[in-house]
Structure 1
């Protein structure tokens, strides 16, 4: 894959001035194959406001990937579907069967991922649903020699998502992006998670949303130049890493 880009559209951490911050997460991923909205934040009006400010047209989306069913990740879905009813929506089988039934009539195509990894487009796939409370899947980008993983809240554990991705592919996972769900973790649990990421070969991290201030500070200290700031409006080039 050529260089992919990721732009954070919704986050509780500020990034660029003039954009709204609320609890939740959403990001736009552009690859040569697809333009993907990863999660939709907690509020559709705020999501669309930020998209307009960043000159991003919802009608140009090919796919909406929903990591898990919590309100702060699916709250903006209706607003996107109203403007782009033909978009493909990707969820996993842990979502409510009532939501699954309703979405079948509200979007262009509905893809329901099981527990196995699922290719969605060239260079794009789901990790497959991992058991947690709630169950969750992450989006994997193939950057030629390495992989990037984007998680919503990483309820199964960010290190578990990385390990699942690496074992399914054999390629190193260099990028870990999104919510790492360490906001309620103590210092020892944070240190263990960071040590696991390092051991698994992750070299660049973009921790935001529910990662928590303490974990972000620890990640910044450990990763140094490999720590990339998140926040609303940040645009990150996921350059394929030459090994």
Structure 2
């Protein structure tokens, strides 16, 4: 059962973009405003975070005065994660769990460093690592010329364990942080146009060949029910299709209104073809905030900006803090 929380805070540690200057809605604090709040009075390059192709978010929920924290993905590589955590003064010591959204390098490349930094601040305690068993398969993408471009593997269960993670793998929906955060099971595909990651394949279990893997069934979304608002959904890449994700969220919690989505919508590359259907179908969910970023792509962001008001579209960027 998912318990309602009194508040939710999402701090973007890694994203494809930085944006110090754009105005934001009242519930979103930009990187520059965060620096000022922490007492920085002179701006310069030594203050700034960096962008990288990937996503990582620090999630903090509060209920009855008790705050609980987890990490959602780690971004693609160690430099960006360490630099941004340091420059944002992000406190990793209370992190109780890590959820990896799906098995792609741009969400897991800094995972071993993240574990090291968290345990260096929490006295060396073991950290729960929430995974899907299919995340650890080797993957590649078939190029137009027929050749395969292999992806870097995410850290193995053995490596994660050696770095202090307690790896728990499941295909079924469950909760984290004492019932305050929902982790979806595998996402049903109900639309006829969201077909995953075109051209992706994975190693067969015997390691001898490759098999189709466009659906990325290991991808999960994370949900938090904020009291008085509704369900906030984090969907790191939305390979399942963000409309499929939101249908699943609504089906999973029919009595809780959908309130916000945050993450990558993967409407770039081959998926640019489905931007019109996706944007049109998003209207049915009555979202108060669409915090799109990472792999969404500029064409989709433009379409979203044309379809939704400034008060709804609040693109993600490194250092932004969303308060619900």
TM-score, with structure 1 as normaliser: 0.89
1:177-216, aligned counterparts within 5 Å? Answer: 177-184=262-269, 189-216=274-301
Shift of 1:186: 6.4
- Aligned residue number for residue 52 of structure 1: 86
Shift of 1:84: 2.9
Higher helix residue share:
1
- Aligned residue number for residue 17 of structure 2: 13
Paired with 1:140 and 1:113, the residues of 2 have a C-alpha distance of 16
CA RMSD of aligned residues (A): 2.0
Q: Deviations over 1:135-181 (max 9, x none)?
A: 30011111135101101111111111111111011122221110000
Selected match of 1:89 from 106, 126, 129: 129
Paired residues of 1:175 and 1:202 also in contact (CA < 8 A): yes
Paired with 1:193 and 1:43, the residues of 2 have a C-alpha distance of 30
Selected match of 1:118 from 169, 174, 178: 174
Q: Deviations over 1:91-131 (max 9, x none)?
A: 112222782344344334322221x3211133201111337
- Aligned residue number for residue 233 of structure 1: 319
Paired with 1:180 and 1:186, the residues of 2 have a C-alpha distance of 10
Paired residues of 2:7 and 2:227 also in contact (CA < 8 A): no
Q: Given the alignment of the two structures, is residue 157 of structure 1 paired with residue 241 of structure 2, yes or no?
A: yes
Question: Secondary structure of the residue that 1:83 maps to in structure 2?
Answer: helix
Q: Given the alignment of the two structures, is residue 223 of structure 1 paired with residue 227 of structure 2, yes or no?
A: no
- Aligned residue number for residue 42 of structure 1: 76
Q: Deviations over 1:5-32 (max 9, x none)?
A: 1111101111336111111111111102
Q: Structure 1 stretch 104-113 or stretch 173-182: which is displaced more?
A: 104-113
> Which protein has the larger Cα radius of gyration, Structure 1 or Structure 2?
2
Paired with 2:115 and 2:164, the residues of 1 have a C-alpha distance of 7
- Aligned residue number for residue 241 of structure 1: none
Structure 2 residue ranges without an equivalent (≥5) = 20-30, 33-47, 120-125, 138-154, 189-214
Compared CA separation, residues 105 and 60, structure 1 to 2 (3 A) = same
Q: Given the alignment of the two structures, is residue 103 of structure 1 paired with residue 143 of structure 2, yes or no?
A: no
Compared CA separation, residues 71 and 108, structure 1 to 2 (3 A) = closer
Paired residues of 1:117 and 1:168 also in contact (CA < 8 A): no
